[in-house]
Structure 1
Amino acid sequence: MSNAQFSLIAPGLSIHGHVTADHGISCFGLVGGDLRSSQGLVQVGAEGLIRGTVEGDHILVDGTVEGDVISRVSLHINGRVKGRIAYAGTIRLGPNAALEGTISRIAGIGYEGPVSPGVTVEGAQGEPAKV
């Protein structure tokens, strides 16, 4: 048997702050902050709205992300993303995908954990990237 864990941010629920998990997350509500998972699926449901960075192994966006999206394995967008998109595995755009920003394929991304705003980290190509 599997001990898979999954968290749900239900419709009508609003979180103002960062959400970090070591398992899968489905968001059908509002997160005013980053939504990050060190492993598993991160889903932004059709009613979901994230105002911050979304990061995970596998990401499925059917709702709206107003911030950066960072996928370490697979990314499927069938919703709206306004921000930078970085993916290390595969990307798939659905018929309803609406993108406003840039898309970059990078060699690989490791989970870094939460980073304080304004901190400079090394980007995929070795150059400093402002977070």
Structure 2
Amino acid sequence: MKWRAGFTIIEVLIAAAILVVLIGSLMAPLGNLFRMTKRNQQLLDNTTIAQQAVEKIVRDWRDQSRFSHSCLDPGTRLPDGVTVTVQDLSVTGDPVSPMTYVLRNCSGSGDSVSLKRVTVTAAANDGKPAVIVMDIARPQ
């Protein structure tokens, strides 16, 4: 009887089963990695949108009147999905009142606080919302 070089069918089946187990064990972490990458990209997008909103507020509040009224220039439009709350602070950074409010119209009387805490929340897509909190001083 001659021996042939090669693998038996049993050896091939065992090797195939081991290969399937290895590939299966790699697919779950790979799928999680792709989901995590997507979530991180959505958070990054929301953070970018929130940062742009903060920059618009800081730019508009260089004008003392707009700072006093907690309002934006009428031509300034915040991106969709952005909410802004403002809290008046004392010079030491303590809240003047526990109340927060949203950006207002530039009418009526302004306030005399020297510091405001602005909280910008961006939830423009299905990802986790990004929140930026910034204390802004009255312009000189």
TM (norm. structure 2) is 0.20
- The structure, 1 or 2, with the larger RCO (C-alpha pairs under 8 Å, 6+ apart) is 2
TM-score of the superposition, structure 1-length normalised? 0.21
Q: Larger helix proportion, structure 1 or 2?
A: 2
Larger Rg: 2
